[in-house]
Chains A and B, each alone.
Chain A
């Protein structure tokens, strides 16, 4: 095949395709929606390795098509998943949802094929903004709020990433190449944090279980696949072998399991298992060996399919019953048998049952840990595998499809939803039975791993069976409780409330006081400048009245003084310009100069304190004289 076929970046197929959706009428739209992923898949299939679609922007080369085994592998699964998910979402009438979903898929493909950091960043932002629409389209208050929180986290993550990119450029002489980073410099650390936010690594993960369960039924299915898996892709390319990631990943795998025990919302439970599953991938990236990285990519491939299927299954339950809590559901296998069967295929896949795709991918990462002689990681990941089967394979189906019959009237969903689930379930099983299909496209060839060895199969069966026994023994403890669980989003949800209180009370009051004080100063200045001399006299008079009140009490003299003061304020500003004869001015000037002379001669012989003392005496004497005048009812002279 020649590369001329691949003249269009897959991202463009989805994004431009998405913008044209509103123009397609009626049933044609459904065909069109399914056609886009097919075309994109063929595009990815026939792309040759190399670097394409380079665009000069200012002094930088933006690369929209870096094609190698790693990016192609993600390209395949993204387009396949998009097809299955589009099929599942085909009944949605609202065009906007389809547009948002396809722009979202397109930007994920954009990130995957981006060859430089700028292109990556642009699509990274697209990813956040298009996916938040999938949350908002649910149109509930909880969804709108969760969407804003989701956006807030991702915008912060984007800014951190951009900051990292800029620092990285400075560190590397303006290079914006996106290859394996030399981890350690401030720039690369910021880039890593930006990536980790999208990979939902605790404690930066809370946006995921917060927003996904609030998204639309079909939107959530799309969201499970793309944001975290593009993050896995960029981590695998940029930070393979960073030991920190190995530990973060293993902790993450268990973290999701612990919270899944507590969860009552069926989609939020699954969302916590996304964190757990992405933990395997992050751990594999941290291990960094060829086996581990192959395992990571294989697991991302499998995960997108089975997690999509699980979200489809539980989404269908919510869609058909209107209920989303374990405590409200039960006995649905009688009314939704097909949904139950298809969901169980997803559950078997994620749990790693032999013949399903989780078995052939998850085990690669665990095997890589064993090859590395890393017993702790091996045990942590095996433990998370137990938790995965416990929740998605046992607890969730038991309390939703079996268990106590909640007597809900429902039926299996529309055909397209079943077909979407069926296609995904088929892919999960196909890869489980013929793992070579997947192994052939992994980035590190040849793949020296055979999942179906007797030891592995028997070990897995033992693990799963005994987990089942423990589940049966403790089933009472596992029943859903009508609660929600606090997670790290507490800090910005409750922190936000405290922040708003600080803004509304101390800060707002402080601001108001500053404004009031400034306005007072302004008013005074305006008043004062109308007739400064008279104004000064009034100020002096006011001081005098204070002095009188303190010294004399309520006497007839004070009453007269007050009258003088009142009349003076009333007359203000009066005639601002004094019309004094020249002689008076000359006299005043002479007095002033004489006083100056006296001070000039005397001052050097006095200390600062005595000068201040003299000044105080003079002022006190002046005020005393004026006060006596006011008591006698003499009007102010200064204003004339």
Chain B
């Protein structure tokens, strides 16, 4: 698996990956609009009145980002408020 290593250790690859990420972020948002307003209307296999935020094209993107940030910050704050203790806590 040397090729994987050489490929990933190359700074150029990392840079390319970052660009790829930017591009895919934009494409995914555009696709969200496309799905909502055009090429393929949302269909969950069963007719139902969608929840209000299912109609926002980039809802998943915003929600994913916000949730991830909140999970990390709030959990760490929770952990540092006394939940995280020394590893030998129970041995004392």
Contacts and interface: CB of A to CB of B under 8 A. Distances in A.
Given A467-B68, A469-B21, A484-B89, A334 B5 contact: yes
Interface string A376-409: 0011001100110010000000000010000000
A520 B57 CA distance: 87
Contacts of B25: 465-466, 469
Contact of B87 (A382, A450, A484): A484
B64 A464 contact: yes
Contact of B46 (A387, A448, A463, A473): A448
Interface string A448-465: 111001111011111111
Contacts of B51: 370, 373, 375, 378
B50 A370 contact: yes
A612 interface: no
Given A261-B72, A483-B86, A466 B43 contact: no
B34 to A, nearest CB: 8
A23 interface: no
Contacts of A371: 46, 48
A390 B85 CA distance: 23
A468 interface: yes
B79 to A, nearest CB: 4
B85 A486 contact: yes
A589 interface: no
Contacts of A242: none
Interface residues of A, number: 56
Given A477-B76, A485-B79, A458 B35 contact: yes
A414 interface: no
A485 B84 contact: yes
Interface string B47-66: 01111111000111111110
B45 interface: yes
A450 B42 CA distance: 12
Given A450-B45, A458-B35, A468 B79 contact: no
Nearest to B24: A465
A448 B79 CA distance: 42
A327 B5 CA distance: 22
Interface in B1-53: 1, 4-5, 8, 21, 24-25, 28-29, 31-32, 35-36, 39-40, 42-46, 48-53
Contact of B32 (A257, A382, A459): A459
B69 A470 contact: yes
A471 B68 contact: yes
A463 B25 CA distance: 10
A466 B45 contact: no
A262 B83 contact: yes
A466 B48 contact: no
Contacts of A466: 25, 60-62, 64-65, 68
Contacts of B28: 458, 461-462, 465
Given A459-B32, A474-B69, A261 B75 contact: yes
Contacts of A402: 8
Nearest to B71: A387
A448 B46 CA distance: 7
Nearest to B42: A455
A456 B78 CA distance: 33
Nearest to A450: B45
A455 B37 CA distance: 11
A258 B83 CA distance: 11
A466 B70 CA distance: 13
Contacts of B31: 454, 458, 461
A495 to B, nearest CB: 12
B45 A449 contact: yes
23 contacts: A261-B76, A262-B84, A291-B46, A333-B8, A371-B48, A375-B51, A375-B52, A386-B64, A386-B68, A390-B71, A448-B45, A453-B44, A454-B31, A454-B39, A455-B44, A456-B44, A458-B35, A459-B32, A467-B68, A469-B65, A471-B68, A474-B68, A474-B73
Given A262-B83, A383-B71, 9 more contacts: A261-B76, A367-B44, A386-B67, A390-B68, A455-B43, A458-B32, A473-B69, A478-B72, A484-B90
